[in-house]
Amino acid sequence: MSDSSRQTPPGGTIYLDSAASTALRPEALEAMLPFMTGDFANPSAHHESGRRAHDAMERARDDVAAILGALAEEVVFASGGTESINTAVKGVAFAQAEAGVGRHIVTTEVEHHAVLHSLQFLERFGFEVEVLPVDEHGLVTPDEVATAIRPDTALVSVAYANNEVGTVQPLPDIARAVKERAQALGRQVPFHTDAVQAPNSHSLDVDALGVDLLSLSGHKFGGPKGTGLLYVRRGVPFLELLSGGGQERQRRSGTENVPGVVGMATALRLAQEEREAFTARTSMLRDRLFDAVRAACPEARLNGHPTQRLPHNLHVCFSDLEGESLVAELDALGIACSAGAACTSATWEPSHVLLAMGVPLDLAIGSLRMSLWPSITEAQIDYVAAQLPGAVSRVRASAVRAI
């Protein structure tokens, strides 16, 4: 579509990519500013400015721990979800191997690449990774996970909610099955979850979830980019990946990002306080959008579990087109969305998640992820619904002409 034909949506660009990133909440920015100018000192410094920075960071740690139902000493600040996941998976795996426990790791086919690529890295060091299949909705059963556990299993990692199709795993049931199986073997098996997509709509209480390690990324819930955290239950075997000054109780060296930590903690608190309102609002918008899409494009296929899913996620496939082309066409109409996970869009290929769920290849390449935010209006949803059928038709026609 040429610039001359570009249409202006109501309210400006309609951002439907909150699964990839969210705007920094004003409250988080306000909390950060004092530590970017006045109290900018290194939190490890032994002077008043350093102590103020350190105290602010520890207050943020206490706030996060309260949200997780954890001890403050179990919270490790990191640079994002990717670092948190790498630290959890590799840190536990190497610690378990060093202790002679074993080198077997259990995960699923639909994990984020931060998990899967970390495990591929570990395979180079003699670890054996068992990747469990999922059903057509992207779910793995607790029994399947438990059955896969062996006497030499070092770690289990199952995502809380899928970043592409939005399917939410029955995490407490899986954790319970893992612990029962481990007890039958007379040992403990640490259980990690990538919870990056969960904070806006789901509880993060680690005891209720039954997890031993949990990873989060600040910019997914209104916090600043470059921030994340890892919960590590006390007593879980762990080797640090970053060595140096011994920050974060020897678990993650490097000068802490005090303004980022303070902003992330503020955003996380607000996200958890507003979970019910977020769920009610975004699920209504999602259903309104899907009903309109299905009416205009009956062949559109919903991906992920129909009900056991993130409330703000709508993931559909269209036949006879490529998702990247459709994203570009919608972008020209002032609609920002994704053909899959933004983390992999630079080297786009059919989604491993969709293929694992049994979606045919010709449909998998035509995927579109629209992830909403409460600030989206009904008028904007109606605009998207009105523009999508024409965009699909134009992309299909272009594909035919290119053959």
How far is the C-alpha of 299 from the C-alpha of 362, rounded, in Å?
13
Burial class (CB in 10 A: 0-12, 13-18, 19+), 185: middle
Q: Give the mean model confidence (pLDDT) for residues 278-285.
A: 98
Which range has the worst mean pLDDT, 142-156, 191-205, 259-273, 346-360? Answer: 346-360
Contact 110, 315 (CB under 8 A): no
Structure tokens at 145: 């996970």
pLDDT value of residue 110: 98
How far is the C-alpha of 152 from the C-alpha of 196, rounded, in Å?
28
pLDDT value of residue 343: 47
Please give the DSSP secondary-structure letter assigned to residue 105.
Answer: E
pLDDT value of residue 6: 55
The CATH architecture to which 26-273 belongs is: 3-Layer(aba) Sandwich (3.40)
Biggest CA–CA distance in the chain, Å, is 69
Structure tokens at 111: 């994990």
Instruction: Indicate if the alpha-carbon torsion angle 218, 223, 227, 228 is positive or negative.
Output: negative
Please give the DSSP secondary-structure letter assigned to residue 319.
Answer: S
Four-way CATH pick for 7-24+275-402: 3.90.1150.10, 3.10.129.10, 3.30.230.10, 3.30.470.20: 3.90.1150.10
Q: Is beta strand 128-132 parallel, antiparallel or unpaired with respect to 104-108?
A: parallel
Q: Give the mean model confidence (pLDDT) for residues 110-118.
A: 98
Structure tokens at 373: 């935010």
Highest mean pLDDT among 4-13, 73-82, 250-259: 73-82
How far is the C-alpha of 96 from the C-alpha of 188, rounded, in Å?
11
How far is the C-alpha of 387 from the C-alpha of 399, rounded, in Å?
19
Contact 78, 84 (CB under 8 A): yes
Contact 387, 336 (CB under 8 A): no
SS3 223: coil
Burial class (CB in 10 A: 0-12, 13-18, 19+), 323: buried
How far is the C-alpha of 345 from the C-alpha of 336, rounded, in Å?
14
Whether 7-24+275-402 shares its CATH topology with 26-273 is answered no
Share of the chain above pLDDT 90, in %: 82
pLDDT value of residue 5: 47
Mind listing the pLDDT tens digit for each residue in 219-258?
Answer: 999 999 999 999 999 999 999 888 888 787 778 868 789 9
Mind listing the pLDDT tens digit for each residue in 133-164?
Answer: 999 999 999 999 999 999 999 999 999 999 99
pLDDT value of residue 216: 98
Domain residue extents for the chain: 7-24+275-402, 26-273
**Residue 337 appears among annotated catalytic residues:** no
How far is the C-alpha of 163 from the C-alpha of 267, rounded, in Å?
20
Nearest to 328 by CA among 394, 401, 377: 394
Task: Provide DSSP, 129-182.
Answer: EEEE---TTS---HHHHHHH--TTEEEEE--SB-TTT-BBP-HHHHHHHHHHHH
Residue that is written with structure tokens 């902003």 in the block: 263
Q: Which residue has the higher pLDDT, 152 or 53?
A: 152
pLDDT value of residue 340: 67
SS3 238: coil
CA distances for 202 relative to 9, 303, 327, angstroms: 31, 20, 28
